Amino acid sequence: MVNYPKVVVTGASGFIAKNLRKHLSAKNIEFISISRNDFKKFKCESKIISNYFDEKNLLTKIKNSDVLIHLVGIGKQSVNTDYHIVNTGLTNYMVNLSKKAKIKKIVYLSGLGVSSNTSIGYFISKYNAEQQILKSGLNFTIFRPSYIIGKDDYFTKYLKKQVKKGEIKIPGSGKYSIQPIHIDDVVKIIFKSLSEEKFKNKIIDLVGSETITFEKYVKLFSKGTNTNIKKINLEDSYHNAITNPKSDFGIDDLNILIGNFQGNHTKLKKLTGMKFESVMKLLESGRLL
């Protein structure tokens, strides 16, 4: 019988965390979830609402847990919220809090394309967060995900909204590729990493088996609808991202898309021993729409 660890999840009201919490609950795992916003509680779950992740409020409640799954992060910054504070600073804070709480392991979601050579602000913040974890002395598993897709992910919600409007805009040529992975596969992999020794102290690309151009993804997603697909000049896309805080694509969204980052799915498949959901088949079936 597997003795499953006691788990703490941050960013509980986010897309990945919601699906992960549902999975943990279905497996009857005892876990604590932390969020700045209120959320509906699952069975086996203890709930903490904390605006500022206050140590006095959190420390006694998470003390002697086994694993922290840190899912708080932002992909777009503004004058009020920047990458360094949220992606790097809060990760560093949670690493230190974990050590005080005698938590033995941290699972962290970074980003595909993160490296010491990056010049993208988002990736720099994630790289620096990774470094805090690597230097912590804690057992760790760091995942570098591509687009994680499901019914309610940010990208799918954006495309659904555009389909309703009747037009999807593609920045530039749309020939750059993405390597999407389905949320069900992601939560299974995170769950495996909690107790399986082979995930210890590893940095792993979290990517699907299929590489799809952005243009093809959009066409398959909107197949069977009367949606016009319009290519927008890349310069105009960047101008809008720079000058309009409500633009569909932020500057780093565009940088990441055009960066054409590819991950090692073969290595992931070998490590997990899993059969992965085909995103192409999901798109063709219309189940994401």
**Structure confidence at residue 287 (pLDDT):** 86
Residue 269 or 1, more confident: 269
Taking residues 130-144, report their average pLDDT.
Answer: 98
Residue extents of the structural domains in the chain:
7-149+180-208+262-274
- Tens digits of residue pLDDT in 253-273: 999 999 999 999 999 999 999
- In whole numbers, what is the pLDDT of the chain averaged over residues? 95
Q: Which residues is 168 bridged to in the sheet?
A: 229
pLDDT for position 2: 58
The pLDDT, as a whole number, for residue 183 is: 98
| pLDDT score, position 254 | 96
Cα–Cα distance, 168 to 85 (Å, whole number):
33
Residue-wise pLDDT tens digits, 21-45 = 999 999 999 999 999 999 999 999 9
Percentage of residues in the chain with pLDDT exceeding 70?
99
What is the model's pLDDT at position 205? 98
How many residues make up the chain in this entry? 289
Query: Is the CB of residue 73 less than 8 Å from the CB of residue 87?
Result: yes
Token pair in block for residue 56: 């006095």
Predicted pLDDT at 1 = 46
For residue 178, CA distances in Å to 87, 110, 144, 147 come to 22, 16, 13, 7
**Helix (H) / strand (E) containing 179:** none
pTM across the whole model: 0.96
In CATH, 7-149+180-208+262-274 is 3.40.1390.10: no
- Of 27, 181, 20, the residue nearest 35 (C-alpha): 20
pLDDT of residue 260: 94
Top-confidence residue, 202 or 57: 202
Where helices occur in 135-233 by DSSP H, the ranges are: 154-165, 183-195, 214-221
Residues 200 and 271: beta-carbon distance below 8 Å: no
Residue 151 pLDDT > 90: no
Mean pLDDT of 46-74: 95
